[in-house]
Copies of this chain bind each other. A is one copy, B any other.
Amino acid sequence: MKFTIREAKKSDMPEVLRLIQLLADYENEPDAVEISIEDLEDKGFGENKIFYCYVIEVEGKIRGMALFYFRYSTWKGKTVHLEDLIVEKDFRGKGLGKALYKKVMEFGGKHKVKRIEWAVLDWNTPAIKFYEKTGAKVFEDWRTVQFEEKAYLSFLKNQ
């Protein structure tokens, strides 16, 4: 299958949000997506840009994307965090995912980052096997802690 990868443009954000929503549907969390096209436009292309994004096209239509940003490790230095790598269901198993994966590593190399990091669900064995095969390391002993807006505001209120 022929495909092309390029940097996302602001005008791609409706398609990027469509992919984010497709993934949420697939994970049985259809109502989890709270962001808007405007939010993606602002945080990807605004003055206080946070993230970077590549899209992958097949016959001129976006069928996948990788969204990532810089982080900072106090041991290693500047790193990249890969937040999402999504390929539309009917276009999987055709090398699009690996091409996006490589593109993110190339971005990391260009920016000389010390590490590229992401999260995977522990039951997602095929993904874990793929990552390990490429040379990435999966850690068993770190836990993610999340303090949601309502909860941390309520914590502050009660101090």
Contacts and interface: CB of A to CB of B under 8 A. Distances in A.
B74 A20 contact: yes
Chain A interface mostly: mixed
A144 B117 CA distance: 7
Contact of A152 (B81, B116, B123): B116
A50 interface: yes
A42 B74 CA distance: 13
A59 interface: no
A29 B76 CA distance: 13
Interface in A90-122: 102, 105-106, 108-109, 112-122
A47 interface: no
